[in-house]
Amino acid sequence: MKINPLVAKLSHFAVLSAEEIALLESLCVNEESFPAHVDIVTEGQVPRSPFVLTDGLACRYRVLRDGRRQILTFLVPGDTSNLHGFLIQAMDHSIATLMPTRIAMVQWEIVMGITTGYPRLGGALWWSALQEEAIMRERIVSIGRRSARGRIAYLLCEFVWRQRAVGLSNDDEIRLPLTQTELGDAAGLTSVAVNRALQDFRRNGWIKFSRGRLTLLATEKLLDIAQFSQRYLHLDGAPTPIRRYFDQLDRAGGA
């Protein structure tokens, strides 16, 4: 039986109670399947209900007037979206699948209920939002200041670390069915530049990347080129005093 990726992700924040785990798992029952390369949500529309991506891969993106696309972030299993979308009138970006993907719809009243009734889970959701913000900040740094090779190395590292964090990998190999054009759309590069960076990495024997599978063969080298630090993912979770605070609330509420 596969570990629920949302539980895996939020467990990095703090040790969850059995009740909390059960609640998170119950969020993921109402699944819906999407084929590859279709919009889940489209810019300008009313946000669809909150959801958890349970399997597959998706991306947030925007398209410019001239048709060029910028991928903003990737959604991997365990990632949530639109949790608070009900607070805004219209989406400012689109979300599309990149491979066959399953998402579980959640009613926003339930999200509100978690916020008010389950302090530690509410904290975990905020923590998850902080992580997503940090991922975007790192992307800004990457696109703004790094070379093509640095940007690609950084993207590859991020995928490996994020997939590990939700239990989808135990080593340096992951599933990554992205085209070079898609990588370029995420890195602010053309597919030609992506190709040349990947060729370079391959010829140096630092990666293996074909048929939708990526293997880091020289992790240290890639970390160095990317200037990647996993700190921004905040996988060490909440500080001890905060964990204790939530534990106390547990005892108070559960008594």
Give the residues lining the site for DNA (CB under 7 A).
147-149, 179-181, 184, 188-193, 195-196, 198-199, 210-211
Residues 153-192, one symbol each (x = binds its own copies by CB under 8 A, - = not), give ----------------------------------xx----
Least distance CB 208 / its own copies (angstroms)? 27
Least distance CB 134 / DNA (angstroms)? 23
Q: How far apart are CA 18 and CA 21, in angstroms?
A: 5
Residue 116 contact among its own copies, DNA, none, beta carbon within 5 to 8 Å by kind: its own copies
Least distance CB 191 / DNA (angstroms)? 5
Residue 23 contact among DNA, its own copies, none, beta carbon within 5 to 8 Å by kind: none
Q: Which is nearer to DNA, 53 or 148 (CB)?
A: 148
Helix 148-165 and helix 219-226, axial crossing angle in degrees, nearest 10: 120
Q: How far apart are CA 3 and CA 223, in angstroms?
A: 28
Residues 38-77, one symbol each (x = binds its own copies by CB under 8 A, - = not), give ------x-x-------------x-x-xx--x-x-xx----
First to last CA, the chain: 32
Instruction: Point out which span in 81-89, 157-165, 201-209, 215-223 binds its own copies (CB under 8 A).
Output: 81-89
- Check if the beta carbon of residue 48 is closer than 8 Å to that of residue 96: no
Residue 84 contact among its own copies, DNA, none, beta carbon within 5 to 8 Å by kind: its own copies
Least distance CB 150 / DNA (angstroms)? 7
Q: Which is nearer to DNA, 200 or 247 (CB)?
A: 200
Residue 70 contact among DNA, its own copies, none, beta carbon within 5 to 8 Å by kind: its own copies
Residue 213 contact among DNA, its own copies, none, beta carbon within 5 to 8 Å by kind: none
For the chain, what is the HEC assignment?
A: CCCCHHHHHHCCCCCCCHHHHHHHHHHCCCEEEECCCCEEECCCCCCCCCEEEEECCEEEEEECCCCCEEEEEEECCCCEECCCHHHCCCCCCEEEECCCEEEEECCHHHHHHHHHHCHHHHHHHHHHHHHHHHHHHHHHHHHHHCCHHHHHHHHHHHHHHHHHHCCCCCCCEEECCCCHHHHHHHHCCCHHHHHHHHHHHHHCCCEEEECCEEEECCHHHHHHHHCCCHHHHCCCCCCHHHHHHHHHHHHHHHC
Summarize as ranges the residues that interact with its own copies (CB under 8 A).
Answer: 13, 44, 46, 60, 62, 64-65, 68, 70, 72-73, 84, 86-90, 92-93, 112, 115-116, 119, 122-123, 126-127, 129-130, 132-134, 136-141, 143-146, 187-188, 227, 231-232, 234, 236-239, 242
